[in-house]
Structure 1
Amino acid sequence: MQFHTEFSPEALPYRIGLKSQIVTIGSCFAEVMGQRLANNKLTILNNPFGTIFNPVSIAKLLAMALYGNTPDENRYVERDGVWFHYDFHSSLWATSQDELRTKLVASLVQTSEAIRKADFLLLTLGSAIVYRHIETGKVVANCHKMPGALFEKYLYQIDHLRDDLTRLLKTLHKANPKLKVLLTVSPVRHTRDTLPLNNVSKSILRVIAHELTVWNDWIAYFPAYELMMDDLRDYRFYEADLIHPNPQAHDYIFGKFAESAFDPELRDFVAKWSQISKSLAHQPLYGDNNLNYQQFLLKLVAELETLSKRINVSTELAEVQGRLEKCIMHHAE
């Protein structure tokens, strides 16, 4: 007897390998998945513009990066001595406009370079509901806690979103013909928009994602949204706010992603790295000067040296060798 609908996504047409270069852009879910990829030693640029929910701002920022444009000078805003920009997330801030401009330009250049070299772009769409700055008439990526009266909130029209994303994907493909795009719809529900409107918003994003995969063989969809809504249909998989998936849900969805998107070599590496990560976190119960711990560290060094032929583990290897030297010195005293 089954008590839930277990869902195993189909294998994606293009597989991520150990040497693949990846960029993630979009909502907080993109950042969570990106961090897990980074934790498994993949080469990744993770959400360089901060959390961006709506496709309008995502398309604008990526086009700005690829065309070498600079941030709009009329979009800077100061609040309580801190400077922000309406096209970027509030995690990108500075104490002066000039300092922020330098930081934003660097982020755009870094993103452009990474996109042109990348094998995969993981693009996560969060919401079709946008905030328009009334004075300028332009959609913002983040309101930066400015007064609500400055903005108009509305559901972006599906045809306009489709056009924005279609133009963006053509620009991406022209900049990097080998790039493969993995689309996802964020499973985070925007309950402040009301549940009915949130469902409309997610439906629009899901329809557009489906159409883009039908029209382009270099674009695929990973069903993170469906895994959360239909497979993990229980509030025990949510944080206390009952909106965001908790670490257990992220682990489950990432596991499904690995099955669907990773090639055999990478899946094998991830399994081995999981065990090594546990060993790296291990602390001796009875101090670091006993022979058993020394043997444990020697074994761990050997495992890391073997892996170093496949992936860069220089930081971890140096850290363990330092622990081993300390252990040997204590034992010699």
Structure 2
Amino acid sequence: MVNPYRGREARAFWSGAVADRHCTAMTDLWDPIALSRHDRIATAGSCFAQHIGNALARRGADFLDCEPAPPVFASSDEARRFGYGLFSCRYGNIYTARQMRQLVEEAYGHRRPNEAIWTRDGRFFDALRPAVDPAGHASADTVVRARQLHLAAVRTMLETMDLLVFTLGLTECWQSLIDGTVYPTAPGTLAGAFDPALHAFRNLRHADVLEDMEALIALIRAVNPRARILLTVSPVPLVATASGGHVLPATVRSKSVLRAVAGELADGHDHVAYFPSYEIITAHPARGMFFDPDLRTVNALGVEQVMAQFFSGSLAQAFAPADAQAPMPEAICDEDRVAETL
């Protein structure tokens, strides 16, 4: 009998593609995008995006660093602690689609946050990236000047990149009730002060995230028509939830929304693709082996497995590792710093 499943490749069937293989031996999990060493690659998003950026850089990719560290830092580790070299610009972790959309809108003068500066212990912080300067600034004017330089770097990145790797991290966020500005951390954790008259919790829905991502893609393509976008979903669970429920279903809810949106965008745009880092780490065939004992931190084996899948097919040849044994830097996550204050 003729049926639409006959003749399909082996990876389409659970029995041969998953059940009969160890999770580290699964192949063909994605169709690698066309990418060369001449393509200028930018990264943004949650902390897991740092792993992809680091792997690309050490394999000889043209990784954009539009906001490099000044020579005052004694080491790259010290520079990373201040937000340099983590992503293509010094924006720190961008956990939500809304935050990324608003950053691009601000960079091109389409919006201006009402509450852009927070204070703590007499020091001043950029409310939209409070973690990048752990000690803060001596004055509000210094924060403003630093942000102007930052936004200029963001414009350079957007206008010169060939590919943006954007990792979706969360749906939960805190926003201003004045103008809807979304913050990367809750006011009062790293800096600032929470005021229920000014700030509110928001758990973005599927329609919200899809709208934000469609707007973001349109903004990017307006300034750079050749730009492509590669979406991933962070496998790192929420460190805490403000939803009022248990953190486990809150995590699954958040990641499910993000995964659904990423899939729809990849299906609906020729210049948008999806890479399944989330599935590689969290799907049950892995049996949790890619997490540390805290069941939240992705271990070195997990990162290695994700990178092995990413650099498969045509990308294995285009990006042969020059120093495959070099240790990967640990990802720096704002959520971990926030957790210390909870």
* TM-score > 0.5, shorter chain as reference: yes
| Alignment match, 2:324 | 274
The code of the aligned residue for 2:47 comes to C
In structure 2, relative to structure 1, the CA distance for the partners of 1:105 and 1:212 (3 Å cut) is same
| Equivalent-residue separation in structure 2 for 1:245 and 1:99 (angstroms) | 36
Deviation larger for 84-93 or 20-29: 84-93
| Alignment match, 2:126 | 85
| Equivalent-residue separation in structure 2 for 1:210 and 1:3 (angstroms) | 25
- 1:163 pairs with one of 197, 200, 211: 211
Deviation string for 1:231-261 (max 9, x for gaps)? 7734442235321202221121112111167
Deviation, structure 1 residue 264? 2.5
| Equivalent-residue separation in structure 1 for 2:277 and 2:258 (angstroms) | 13
Q: Given the alignment of the two structures, is residue 143 of structure 1 paired with residue 186 of structure 2, yes or no?
A: yes
| Alignment match, 2:94 | 52
8 Å Cα contact 1:86/1:143 also seen in 2: no
In structure 2, relative to structure 1, the CA distance for the partners of 1:101 and 1:43 (3 Å cut) is farther
**What is the correspondence of 1:309-328 to structure 2 with a 5 Å cutoff?**
none
8 Å Cα contact 2:58/2:323 also seen in 1: no
- 1:64 pairs with one of 106, 113, 122: 106
Q: Given the alignment of the two structures, is residue 104 of structure 1 paired with residue 143 of structure 2, yes or no?
A: no
Q: Percent identity?
A: 24
| Alignment match, 1:185 | 233
Deviation string for 1:88-107 (max 9, x for gaps)? 24214433212122222212
Q: Given the alignment of the two structures, is residue 15 of structure 1 paired with residue 34 of structure 2, yes or no?
A: yes
Q: Given the alignment of the two structures, is residue 205 of structure 1 paired with residue 258 of structure 2, yes or no?
A: yes
Q: Which fold has the larger relative contact order, with Cα–Cα distance below 8 Å and residues 6 or more apart in sequence?
A: 2
Secondary structure (helix, strand or coil) at the match of 1:241 reads coil
The code of the aligned residue for 1:222 comes to F
| Alignment match, 1:30 | 49
| Equivalent-residue separation in structure 1 for 2:323 and 2:156 (angstroms) | 28
| Alignment match, 2:4 | none
Structure with greater helix percent:
1
Deviation string for 1:159-184 (max 9, x for gaps)? 12211110110111121111110000
TM-score norm. by structure 1 comes to: 0.73
8 Å Cα contact 1:185/1:225 also seen in 2: yes
Deviation larger for 44-53 or 160-169: 44-53
| Alignment match, 1:217 | 270
The code of the aligned residue for 1:64 comes to E
| Alignment match, 1:74 | 115
The code of the aligned residue for 2:42 comes to V
| Alignment match, 1:286 | none
The code of the aligned residue for 1:90 comes to A
The code of the aligned residue for 2:92 comes to G
Secondary structure (helix, strand or coil) at the match of 1:213 reads helix
Deviation, structure 1 residue 119? 1.1
In structure 2, relative to structure 1, the CA distance for the partners of 1:109 and 1:127 (3 Å cut) is same
Secondary structure (helix, strand or coil) at the match of 1:28 reads coil
In structure 2, relative to structure 1, the CA distance for the partners of 1:148 and 1:260 (3 Å cut) is farther
Deviation, structure 1 residue 263? 6.3
Query: Which protein has the larger Cα radius of gyration, Structure 1 or Structure 2?
Result: 1
| Equivalent-residue separation in structure 1 for 2:314 and 2:278 (angstroms) | 16
TM-score norm. by structure 2 comes to: 0.72
Q: Given the alignment of the two structures, is residue 253 of structure 1 paired with residue 296 of structure 2, yes or no?
A: no
| Equivalent-residue separation in structure 2 for 1:232 and 1:52 (angstroms) | 29
8 Å Cα contact 1:26/1:47 also seen in 2: no
Deviation, structure 1 residue 202? 0.9
Q: Which runs of 5+ in 1 are unaligned?
A: 279-333
8 Å Cα contact 1:131/1:152 also seen in 2: yes
Q: Which runs of 5+ in 2 are unaligned?
A: 1-19, 66-86, 242-246, 328-342
Deviation, structure 1 residue 22? 0.9
Deviation, structure 1 residue 209? 0.8
In structure 2, relative to structure 1, the CA distance for the partners of 1:125 and 1:218 (3 Å cut) is same
Aligned residues: 272
Q: Given the alignment of the two structures, is residue 130 of structure 1 paired with residue 173 of structure 2, yes or no?
A: yes
Q: Given the alignment of the two structures, is residue 241 of structure 1 paired with residue 299 of structure 2, yes or no?
A: no
Secondary structure (helix, strand or coil) at the match of 1:192 reads coil
Secondary structure (helix, strand or coil) at the match of 2:167 reads strand
In structure 2, relative to structure 1, the CA distance for the partners of 1:261 and 1:238 (3 Å cut) is farther
In structure 2, relative to structure 1, the CA distance for the partners of 1:56 and 1:7 (3 Å cut) is farther
